[in-house]
Chains A and B, each alone.
Chain A
Amino acid sequence: MTLQEFVVAVVNGVSYGFLLFLIAAGLSLVFGVLGVLNFAHGGFFMLGAFLAYQIGGAAGLPPWRFLLVVAAAGIVTSIVAMVVEVGLFRPMYARDHLDWLLMTFSLSLVAEGAVREIWGVNPVTVSFPDSVDGAFTVLDAKVPQYSVFIIIVGLAVVVGLSLLLFRTRWGQVIQAVAEDRWMAQALGINVNLVFTAVFGLGLVLAGIAGGMVAPTQALTPQLGAFFLIQAFAVVIVGGLDSVPGALIAAILLGLLNSFLVATLSWLAPYSFYLGLIVVLLVRPQGLLGSKELLRRVS
């Protein structure tokens, strides 16, 4: 592998990793606090992508306007998600995981159907934002500008999310509820409100991820399922209830994937599934998952 290939693999791997983190962070946050593995997460992500198309249109936009469109897509996705949480999830928290698996899966069908209903079955495309649609030359290697753009947005989200979770009172409340919701409730925290807020926060990230993915893919109603399984791989390798674990796993799996594409390309399509299977069988709590997690996933 030449130096050029190496540079391209690193940038693409890290960029794909940040993209996966945007999707996986919400999945992990929702599991950690609400205790729900949300099979409909991919559906909301897809909704974000289509909303970005709806709001911004297919033509290329200046980068800052593109970011506004992505943020708007995230916010609308999040509002829809919070309505679902209040209306559908709230009466269901007493049910066991079997019902949750089946219900969130059915919800993903609803999301797919809604996308088909609103935007039809034909793929739609979104252009790259203006002036980040070319390539940089780094060490003689051509690096797609949009990959770097994703890394910058991803870093901004990581910084914002860590400040929120680890440096604010809101973050402390969320951690308290994740740790022991009974005790949190006894201390006067409105757990229902925290659940709704966390679901909204998780799904704002999914919507943003959808908006960021939009220019890189032809958008079809199957988009959600494809990314959902990759996001599962990320959160499980990282440790289901750990957001930092999801970040590390996303970057690792992104790099693994891009290096396999450059070297053993026949193996690359399997890397995520193999990673997922091996980790679940050998170390179900993942890289950074808590001991408590072992009991909860099984």
Chain B
Amino acid sequence: MTAVGDARSEPVTGTESGPAGPAYRKLQAGGVVLAVLAVLAIPSLPFTSGDVFFWTEILIAILFATAANLLVGYTGLVSFGQASFLGAGAYTVGMLVSKGGFESMTFTLIAAVVVGGLMALVMGALIVRTTGLAFAVLTLAFLELLRTMAFKERTFGGENGLSGVVRTGIGPIDLVSLDRYYYCVAVLAMVAMAMMWVVVSSPFGLTLRAIRDDAERVDFLGVPVRLYKLGVFVMAGAVSGLAGALDAYLNLFVSSETLSLTRSAEPVLMSILGGTSFFFGPAVGALTYEWLQDLLQARTASWVLWIGLGLIAIIVALRRGIVGLLAQAWALSRRRDPAGRTEGKE
């Protein structure tokens, strides 16, 4: 898109995950350890144990948003259709359990990941050659196609959706109780997050960021740009499929609501809220978003108004989200500290 004064004073989505000093790494590692401990403690804390359902939803949202940010933040592809894969995962579970009679969660969860990934492979093979507006609109069109299919075709439950999803267990572990299921989601989400972390820190992840910043130059270097985009699209699809399956087992119900535009936009909006240029930005964004939604929905029917205004403020002014703001504050405090190394000018 050409615009008056095309010169961009700073990258819209930052280029690195904050200042890369050893102190920062220590801070980051400490944050991750604290977060893991907090996640494991939630069902036993007095002020959260009553809301295990809500906290399971948050974990799923974190997983889904982090997957979407592989595209938005790391590759610069805005997908408004990420719920296509959330829905694919949820409907895989719904169909296998309620129509196929499969009880083993091990099988259905793996199937959901595979279906999410395969669907992303097929869709991605068609659309990764487009970028920008065309890509965003195509993801939206595919989403609407799938939503219409889920809503209209009786095979997929139509308007009524698919009920009759039951949680059994994985292998010998019984997951009928919500508390136990919470831990199952927590462990799977952490494993998936760790895998995504490894991927984005690898040369593959660095190449993705290079593609985001200047796809043409990366192409000139002989890198198969489309293949890289397809790779990350499939990965985001597979993880979204897992998130959808976990969502289906949480609600014990699947409907075309999982394929709605709202569900699809949420992970992108959460990522902006938290900061798209940080791996944990979407996680922070998801937590904030769900918390705000919970808070506002109890008081007003129009909470989207406030979330919309907040997002506009972030896009216009803050630009790097909540984590960006924290990182900046941290950098400032380091600069004032006489012992700390100067971080250079902003």
Contact = CB atoms under 8 A, between A and B. Distances in A.
Given A229-B140, A280-B137, A93 B4 contact: yes
B315 A106 contact: yes
Contact of B268 (A102, A112, A280): A102
Contact of A298 (B12, B132, B140): B132
A112 B304 contact: yes
Interface in B261-299: 261, 265, 268-269, 272
Contact of A35 (B3, B127, B134, B148): B3
Contacts of A277: 126, 138, 141-142, 145
B87 to A, nearest CB: 15
Contacts of A101: 78, 133, 136
A100 B301 contact: no
A236 interface: yes
Interface stretch (A48-56, A113-121, A246-254): A113-121
Contact of A297 (B78, B127, B133): B133
Interface in B1-28: 1-8, 12-13
Contacts of A273: 141-142, 144-145, 148
Contact of B305 (A100, A116, A191, A270): A116
Interface stretch (B110-118, B158-166, B229-237, B306-314): B306-314
Contacts of B140: 229, 232
Contacts of B133: 37, 97, 101, 296-298
Interface in A53-74: none
Contacts of B8: 94-96
B304 A109 contact: yes
Task: From A88, A92, A98, A116, name the one whose CB has the most chain B CB atoms within 10 angstroms.
Answer: A98
Nearest to A230: B144
B311 A106 contact: yes
Given A101-B136, A269-B148, A94 B304 contact: no
B125 to A, nearest CB: 11
Given A101-B133, A277-B141, A281-B126, A93 B5 contact: yes
A191 B138 CA distance: 31
Given A112-B304, A277-B142, A280-B130, A94 B316 contact: no
Contact of A88 (B12, B131, B306, B312): B312
Contact of B4 (A111, A191, A270, A296): A191
A98 B76 contact: yes
Contacts of B142: 273, 277
Given A109-B305, A116-B301, A280-B141, A297 B134 contact: yes
A102 B315 contact: yes
A88 B313 CA distance: 10
Nearest to B145: A273
B1 A96 contact: yes
A229 B312 CA distance: 22
A274 B3 contact: no
Contacts of A274: 145
Interface in A226-250: 229, 232-233, 236
Contact of B269 (A99, A106, A111, A233): A106
Interface in A258-298: 266, 269-270, 273-274, 276-277, 280-281, 284, 296-298
Contact of B12 (A99, A270, A276, A280): A99
B249 interface: no
A98 B159 CA distance: 34
B300 interface: yes
A198 to B, nearest CB: 14
Contacts of B127: 281
B156 interface: no
A99 B79 CA distance: 13
A188 interface: no
B303 interface: yes
17 contacts: A35-B3, A88-B312, A93-B3, A93-B4, A94-B4, A98-B13, A98-B78, A102-B269, A102-B311, A105-B265, A105-B269, A107-B312, A109-B307, A109-B311, A273-B144, A277-B142, A297-B132
- Report, nearest first, the 5 A-B pairs whose CB atoms are least far apart: A113-B305, A109-B308, A110-B308, A117-B302, A116-B302
Given A107-B312, A229-B140, 19 more contacts: A91-B316, A94-B5, A100-B1, A102-B268, A102-B269, A102-B311, A105-B268, A106-B311, A108-B308, A113-B306, A116-B304, A117-B300, A232-B137, A232-B140, A273-B145, A280-B141, A296-B2, A296-B133, A297-B132
Interface of B: 1-8, 12-13, 76, 78, 80, 126-127, 130-134, 136-138, 140-142, 144-145, 148-149, 152, 261, 265, 268-269, 272, 300-309, 311-312, 315-316
